[in-house]
Amino acid sequence: MELALLVLVVAVMAPNLYVAGLHDVPNSIAIPVRTRALTPRIAVRVAAAFNALGVLLAVPMGLYLYSWFEFPHMEPGLTLAVLLSALLTVLGWNLFTYFQGMPTSTTHALLAALLGGALAAVLVDGAPSDEVWALPWLTPLLTLLISPLVAFGLAYLLVFLAVRIARGEDPHTVNRVSRGLQSVSVGVTSVGTGLQQGQRFSFVLLMALAAGGVSDPEDWMGVAYVVFALLIGAGAWHGGWRIGHVLAHRLVAIDPLRGMVATSAASGLLFAGSLGIALPLSTSLTAASAIMGAGSNQRFATVNWRQFRRIARYWVATPILSGLVAATLTVALSALV
């Protein structure tokens, strides 16, 4: 049974990787395309390539997270059931929110689904509850909750600096330079996105291989990361335009200068989270908040707050629904193991 569950975990991970690339790539290309820094075709090609590069660069980070966030000791079959439930939940939620055009967090959904599944395992099979609660859930949770506020505030304040630097310059020159910097930010943000995606999915795969009885699971990660990069890059290649349209056209009216500030703030925070403090940041929450922060710092309010409230409701619903659905699926699968 453990082997069958391991095969299912790996099989469900493949569409998760593709959808993750599709779901997250609008965060790096929406504003540069909106401000005509890049054409849509060039933007998605650059983003896909650099997303894949970011995944490959995440190899040592994924192994670090695995040692830092060791899953509770429970029956191997039950561990695999929790992981399978979490992946099914994340896949379903990402597909639903993509077709709704909502930039929700894969990281939020995955962590909540793992917690919900682990708590369900405690109830149905007597898994050690003290080990579940002893895990550092609070650290990544607080990071995910605070990062949108930091992204909004940072982008809002950086607009003052950018406007001061551009004061007295020819508007056409300012727009040209801003678009050029946005073009660079597509690659930078995409690398940061790939780093985050590589970490989270390698963590799940390593736990699954260990629970499935694979000896030295780290030895398989070289091949796994190449597959990760190809699948995430393929998803990014298709652009995620439903979410991109919301971020670029329905959320805020933004000029090239503020677009440059938003993309720079988002990419900086992603790298700080991935490389500086090795904590998971949500690309979607960080990018959307930076766009709103930069866009709101204008003479006239240009943020569509009604649309933002709709997005915020999805942000709140993501961990709640993901945890509940994963817990339900774990209870159902536990009957098989």
pLDDT tens digits for range 62-75? 555 555 555 666 78
Bridge partners (DSSP) of residue 303 are 252
Neighbours of 315 (CB within 10 A): 21
- pLDDT of the residue at 45: 93
pLDDT tens digits along 235-258: 999 888 889 889 888 888 888 999
- pLDDT of the residue at 278: 57
End-to-end CA distance of the chain: give it in Å, rounded: 7
- pLDDT of the residue at 182: 92
Q: Distances in Å between the alpha carbon of 116 and those of 83, 121, 135, 212, 229?
A: 11, 9, 13, 21, 28
- pLDDT of the residue at 260: 93
- pLDDT of the residue at 230: 94
Number of domains within the chain: 1
Report the distance separating Cα 48 and Cα 171, nearest Å.
Answer: 32
More confident residue, 76 or 41: 41
pLDDT tens digits along 191-239: 888 887 888 888 888 889 888 888 777 777 778 889 999 999 999 998 8
Q: Which of 100, 68, 69 is nearest to 243 (CA)?
A: 100
Q: Which residues span the domain enclosing 279?
A: 2-334
Kindly state the average pLDDT of the residues 281-308.
84
Q: What is the pTM of this model?
A: 0.89
